Structure 1
């Protein structure tokens, strides 16, 4: 069973291969003219000045003698890449004694009429008169994709007895023609991309023999305009290969190749045709004119709009900012360069968003909020003279929109700031400050939402000092005083001990077991007093002193 299935698959592949081979044009060794068996026909020179038409006989006025006219293309080859196209003409003719032959002419715009005349011998036409005969010819040269007018007449030419038609020759899109007809041979291109070095390695196969080959990079528009990267592959080189550097992987950047012959057909492949995201670069902003511009690098139908980027990632289109672009440059004038303002590109079912002011380099104004003792102080500053719409609004859990009941116009001068004295409603839950610039055409609506605050403390332009500014310095000073006091106390204690050791050194050396008080006593003694030649020493004790006084009396 397995062997049988394998045989069936092999036969199927062989049949498909044979069918694929048969899809090409029919080959002929050389052109020829043939007629039905028994009818002798020969090709005669075309008339330089054709004779005028004659009135047809009665038997030709009722019906046309031409039946089943068919036109087709065959190929005549003298080598693998040296083939030409021939137009094959075939018709069935109702032969009568008044018809001596057939004239077959082709006409193309700007070219002379080319005619083939097939005449029948007298004996053969008399013998086959009244019968339907076939006439076939394939000796008319045509070019790929050529459109020709066909005119078939009888000989002699009878007025009104003609057949006309149009034939369109196969073009170079046919694989058979691209391989064998010189006018269609373009070569085959394959490539590898090196994104790190920004290089394309291109290989060429099936190029026209015995000819050099051109390779270049170009931007495909109405025509493929060269970008500067160009090389010539010599026919003597064994490896038909070249390296082409590129700057940006644009979808319209293509590799183009053609043989070094006059009017050679060209082949084109575009390695980055799916890289549409590369088109959305190159956004420029003129801060003096406040103009935001973008130019399409490749011809693509795209819708461009300005939008405001939300926190959830959705970019909401600004009113009246949508533009349809296919080739030209687009400019939005009077644009407020805010970080939330972006440009949205939509091509087909896909969309891309670019935010040129996200780095805040061009931000013209800002709102700063400082929290002071339970309330918030709001200031608006601007780098230019600008006018704003400022209002309070409340957000709801149902809709992300913020409903504003009342708005005020605020003007801010260049390099100055304005205090926004807000009422107590800002202290409500979900209260926000809604700001939009008014002196431009395209601006985002910015919301600043705040925490709940104490409405009893009014908003003021003066700065309220926080207790932190007093507590922290006072604590630092107190700590310093304590540290200095401890250091001085330690130094003074050491100093006293050293002094005591210097004055009472004998006592300390003789009586180590005595107390400190005993060693201090000698320092309290006074000079002895004389009483009748008797020396009575002073005693440190009160009783002894009184006794000494009494003795002296």
Structure 2
């Protein structure tokens, strides 16, 4: 049984080896010239510049002379990793009495051509005149991926009796070449990722046995640009391993390896090639110029568009806010840095959205409804001097689209607030507040829909319009008057109550004294009610300046980082 298993395993090994050889490139021990049986031929290098062609004999042309021409690569090896690539030229030739020899020439781009002359002895060729003979030569050295022009001519050279074709040699991507041709041997790279430590454990196999080996991390573009992480594996080391550290898992970050020799071929493996989401970072904003920019860390074909993100999470594209990127930097000029303004990145069928102002640190303006003196008022605040479009819009039939009905252009000075007398319009069914900055190229449209409204007096809501700071000053004056009258009335009431109480107590005291002293009156000093009144009024009047200094306008909302806010100031 054991012998049977061993026999089967041996047979499988033989079959596998035969399969490998059948799929691999043909090997030759040495280059040679071969002719069909009965035809003797000799091969030697030929002259570079042939003599002028002659007029061919009658009936002699290319189609009658050359048949079944084939070009194929073969490999000649002196060791497992010391093989060379050759071109084999085979042709079926119809011999004629006027044909003495066959010239085969090859020319490659940027190099001088080479020819070989295959001559037929007179006695040998005379026996085969008019018959077809097979001629083959495989002594033409070629390089992987090289384009070779092959020309066949007769000797003597007859005009229009020639055969020409172009042949492209196999690339180094061919497995047989990659394992046996030194100029194609790059080694094979294997890796394991450690995302927590941001490390790549790399192992090298099938490298050139007599050469050291370089490993590094690089960013792949037209060429692979090194990132600084590099190591050298010595040929004497039994284990060909190395650890490379990276900072970000970019899709163009690759492991590159090559043998330590001149013009060595290189191999790249890119572990993070599918991590496109890593590219959509690094968005920058210049608050002084109000420019939003982004530059890809890797070459990528993508479409970038500015959009407005709604409460439902859907980002709606802004009009005329789309750019296509490949390698260069893209810039959007005059951008309003609002938290709802986002950038949408689309590559192929995938999309990603990034909102660089989501934290509100750069927000330049805000509009909202505040309660002042018992009634609601729409107030707009801005950290920059700017122009806005503010108005009322209506949503109908559950639609998400808000159609504007009343719009005003409002100019807001830096660090000033502007009141908008739009409360009555906002209290109408399905009415919302709509605002947008006008002095920029790219801005979002903000919509506030308030569910609760307080009905105001006709005197305060005479009609829609803009209430400037003068309205705030008038409200402040009314508030100051109220602050004086109410405390004064309260103090006067207190004085009257205290006076009555003292008067009652004084009357009781005098009656008891008269009873105790027999009706005699004392000359002791009595408390003066007028004095009490003055002592109470003075503190009340002293509190008036403090009340007068109070601000009747509510403080503007905070915008987060004040240092960033200064960047947006004029």
Kept in 2: contact 1:428–1:452 (CA 8 A): no
In structure 1, the residue matched to 2:27 is 27
Q: Which moved more, 1:287-296 or 1:37-46?
A: 37-46
Give the 3-state SS of the residue equivalent to 1:60 in structure 2: coil
Pairs within 5 Å for 1:420-439: 420-439=420-439
Alignment of 1:142-541 (within 5 A): 142-371=142-371, 375-457=375-457, 458=460, 461=472, 462=475
Partner Cα separation in structure 2 for residue 219 and residue 327 of structure 1: 13
CA contact (8 A) 1:202 1:241 kept: yes
Q: CA deviation at 1:423?
A: 4.4
- SS of alignment partner, residue 64 of structure 1: helix
Partner of 1:511: none
Q: CA deviation at 1:50?
A: 3.4
Distance 1:11 1:319, change over 3 A: farther
Q: Deviations over 1:234-277 (max 9, x none)?
A: 11222211111111111111111111111111101111111111
**For 1:414 and 1:59, how far apart are their aligned partners in 2?**
99
Specify every segment of 5 or more residues in structure 2 that has no aligned partner in the other structure, as ranges.
1-9, 462-470, 484-570
2-structure distance, mates of 1:367, 1:425: 16
Cα 1:45–1:389 shift into 2, 3 Å: closer
Label 1:385 to 1:194 Cα distance change in 2 as closer, same or farther (>3 A).
same
CA spacing shift, 1:382–1:456, aligned 2, 3 Å = closer
Secondary structure of 1:407's aligned partner? strand
Is the CA contact 1:429–1:452 (under 8 Å) kept in the aligned structure 2?
no
8 Å Cα contact 2:376/2:454 also seen in 1: no
Structure (1 or 2) with the larger CA radius of gyration: 1
Does residue 117 of structure 1 match 2:153? no
Aligned to 1:322, the other structure's residue is in SS state: strand
Q: C-alpha distance in 1, partners of 2:19/2:433? A: 76
Q: Decide whether the 8 Å contact of 2:77 with 2:84 is kept in 1.
A: yes
Instruction: Name the counterpart of 1:37.
Output: 37
Q: With structure 1 as the length reference, what TM-score do the two structures score?
A: 0.79
Is the aligned partner of 1:90 residue 2:90? yes
Distance apart, 1:290 and its partner CA: 0.6
- Which of 309-318 and 224-233 deviates more? 224-233
CA contact (8 A) 2:54 2:157 kept: yes
Describe the superposition over 1:440-483 as per-residue Cα deviations: whole angstroms up to 9, x where unpaired: 11111111222332324336753899xxx9xxxxxxxxxxxxxx
Contact kept? 1:394, 1:432, Cα under 8 Å: yes
Structure 1 pair 396–375 and aligned structure 2 pair: CA distance change class (3 A): farther
CA distance in 2, matches of 1:32, 1:17: 26
| Deviation string, structure 1 residues 29-54 (Cα, Å, up to 9, x no partner) | 11111111111111134236533323
TM-score after normalising by structure 2: 0.76
Q: Equivalent residue for 1:521?
A: none
Q: What are the Cα deviations for residues 125-160 of structure 1, in whole angstroms up to 9, with x where unaligned?
A: 112222111111111111111111111111222222
Higher relative contact order (CA 8 A, sep 6+): 2
Structure 1 position 113, deviation (Å) = 1.6
**What are the Cα deviations for residues 501-541 of structure 1, in whole angstroms up to 9, with x where unaligned?**
xxxxxxxxxxxxxxxxxxxxxxxxxxxxxxxxxxxxxxxxx
1:321 alignment partner, SS class:
strand
CA shift at 1:430, angstroms?
A: 2.6
Q: 1:394 touches 1:404 (CA, 8 Å); kept in 2?
A: yes
Question: CA 1:400 to 1:61, structure 2 compared with 1: closer, same or farther past 3 Å?
Answer: closer
Deviation at 1:61, TM superposition (A): 4.6
Once the two structures are overlaid, the 10-residue window that deviates more, 356-365 or 126-135, is 126-135
Specify the alignment match of 1:545 in structure 2.
Answer: none
Deviates more, 1:196-205 or 1:392-401: 392-401
Q: Distance in 1 between matches of 2:219 and 2:180?
A: 29
CA RMSD of aligned residues (A): 2.4
Task: Check 1:39–1:47 CA distance in 2 against 1; reply closer, same or farther (3 A cut).
Answer: same
- State the Cα distance separating 1:175 from its structure 2 match: 0.6
By how many angstroms is 1:429 displaced? 3.1
Contact in 2 for aligned 1:375/1:453 (Cα 8 Å): no
Distance, in Å, in 2 between the alignment partners of 1:45 and 1:274 is 53
Contact conserved, 2:305 with 2:345, CA < 8 A, in 1?
A: yes
Q: Distance in 2 between matches of 1:147 and 1:412?
A: 71
1:292/1:132 CA distance change after superposition, 3 Å: same
Q: Could you tell me how far 1:12 is from its partner in structure 2?
A: 11
Contact residue 394 and residue 405 of structure 2 kept, 8 A: no
Distance 1:410-1:348 versus aligned 2 partners, 3 A rule: same
Residues 233 and 61 of structure 1: CA distance in aligned 2, closer, same or farther (over 3 Å): closer
SS in 2 for 1:58: coil
In structure 1, how many angstroms separate the alpha carbons of the residues matched to 2:266 and 2:23? 24
Q: Separation in 1 of the partners of 2:294 and 2:18?
A: 55
Other-structure match for 2:136:
136
What is the match of residue 536 of structure 1? none
C-alpha distance in 1 between matches for 2:335 and 2:252 = 30
Q: Distance in 2 between matches of 1:36 and 1:311?
A: 84
Deviation at 1:62, TM superposition (A): 8.6
Distance in 2 (CA, whole Å) between partners of 1:225 and 1:61 is: 56
Distance change >3 Å, CA 27–CA 431, structure 1 → 2: same
